[in-house]
Amino acid sequence: MKITKEEISNIKMMNNNVLIKPDGEFNDSIIFKDGSKIYLDPSFEKEKHSCVIGDVVSVPRKLNFKRMQGVNSMEWDCDIQVKDGDRVWMQYSVTRTCFQDNSKLFINEDGEFFMIIPYGSLIACKRDDKVIGLNGYNLIKGLKLHELPDELLNREVRNFKGLIPENFMDQYSEQFGEVLVVAVPNKKYRDPEKHDIAQIEVGDIIGFEKYADVPVEYAMHSKLFPEIKNTVFYLQTWLVDLILRK
């Protein structure tokens, strides 16, 4: 949908939605430290190459939370933490939906993209070089099996029969990770079975439900923590089932 710069500047967000200026649709290249660049075909494994970074243009008027079904509500009760101009990381599925649905995507006269997305799809923001977890999403560094303490490694390999191949230890754990950023816990959820009650700290090794380790962004395009080679994923505290404090 075409829109002018003036119209963009006058948009006021309704409840639960945020206006974002994404960096683009896809990350279609990788730039190496020596300045060389290779181009990628983003149509293959789109989830790995979808751009998930953008700037906040307009924040919601407020966030609605109701436990009643059939009403426009956030899935959890939290405060608005982002400000206009913040650099944010979003769930890739939401950015893909916007680029496929013209009713949520706007293009100004300079060819710049803007999109309206749910506030609940924001994962993290960076402000003055500080990383802040949003929507109760803690940021967790994935750990390879050889990085686990022995007592946790034994839980990972207890069903493995025979000798463990050397390259097996370079795989990421499906159950454990190290806390990088602790988010403000959500106050409550629409699902009454969910509670952010675990007291986690930066540096803790945590256990979590299998398949809960969804990456913030894929390693080849990492910009949130470019100094960390390991995959960084996000999860809410209700998924934590073990805490090992160093």
CATH code, domain carrying 166: 2.30.33
**Is 183 found in the same domain as 218?**
yes
Between CA 14 and CA 61 the distance in angstroms is: 6
Count the alpha carbons within 13 Å of 121 in the hemisphere toward its beta carbon.
22
The answer to whether residue 104 scores a pLDDT higher than 90 is: no
9 vs 235: which has the higher pLDDT: 235
Between CA 64 and CA 54 the distance in angstroms is: 23
The number of domains in the chain is: 2
**Is 98 found in the same domain as 75?**
yes
Q: What is the pLDDT of residue 159?
A: 58
Tell me which of 110, 133, 156 is where a domain ends: 133
164 vs 105: which has the higher pLDDT: 105
- What are the structure tokens assigned to 161, written together? 């029969």
Tell me which of 133, 157, 185 is where a domain ends: 133
Between CA 30 and CA 32 the distance in angstroms is: 6
Q: Are 226 and 208 in contact (CB under 8 A)?
A: no
Task: Kindly provide the b/e burial profile for residues 143-171, where b requires at least 16 CB atoms within 10 angstroms of the residue's own CB.
Answer: bebebbeeebbeebeeeeeeeeeeeeeee
The answer to whether residue 232 scores a pLDDT higher than 70 is: yes
Cα torsion angle, 102, 108, 111, 114, sign: negative
Q: Which amino acid is at 135?
A: N
**Is 141 found in the same domain as 68?**
no
The answer to whether residue 132 scores a pLDDT higher than 80 is: yes
Residues of the domain holding 235: 137-244
Q: What is the pLDDT of residue 123?
A: 97
Identify the CA nearest to 21 among candidates 60, 53, 59, 62: 53
**Is 147 found in the same domain as 126?**
no
For the segment 66-83, what is each residue's pLDDT rounded down to a tens digit? 887 767 899 999 999 999
**Is 157 found in the same domain as 197?**
yes
The answer to whether residue 58 scores a pLDDT higher than 70 is: yes
Average pLDDT over residues 130-135: 97
The answer to whether residue 53 scores a pLDDT higher than 90 is: yes
**Is 225 found in the same domain as 164?**
yes
36 vs 142: which has the higher pLDDT: 142
For the segment 173-222, what is each residue's pLDDT rounded down to a tens digit? 989 999 999 999 999 999 999 999 999 999 999 999 888 889 999 877 78
The answer to whether residue 128 scores a pLDDT higher than 80 is: yes
Q: Are 144 and 176 in contact (CB under 8 A)?
A: no
**Is 173 found in the same domain as 117?**
no
97 vs 83: which has the higher pLDDT: 83
- CA distance to 1, 2, 16, 20, 27, per residue, from 105 (Å): 6, 9, 17, 10, 18
- The secondary element (H helix, E strand) that includes residue 10 is none
- Show Cβ contacts of residue 203 under 8 Å, excluding neighbours closer than 6 positions: 178, 179, 245, 246
Q: Which amino acid is at 4?
A: T
Identify the CA nearest to 3 among candidates 112, 110, 102, 108: 108
pLDDT band, very low/low/confident/very high, at 99 (cuts 50, 70, 90) = confident
**Is 83 found in the same domain as 52?**
yes
Q: What is the pLDDT of residue 27?
A: 67
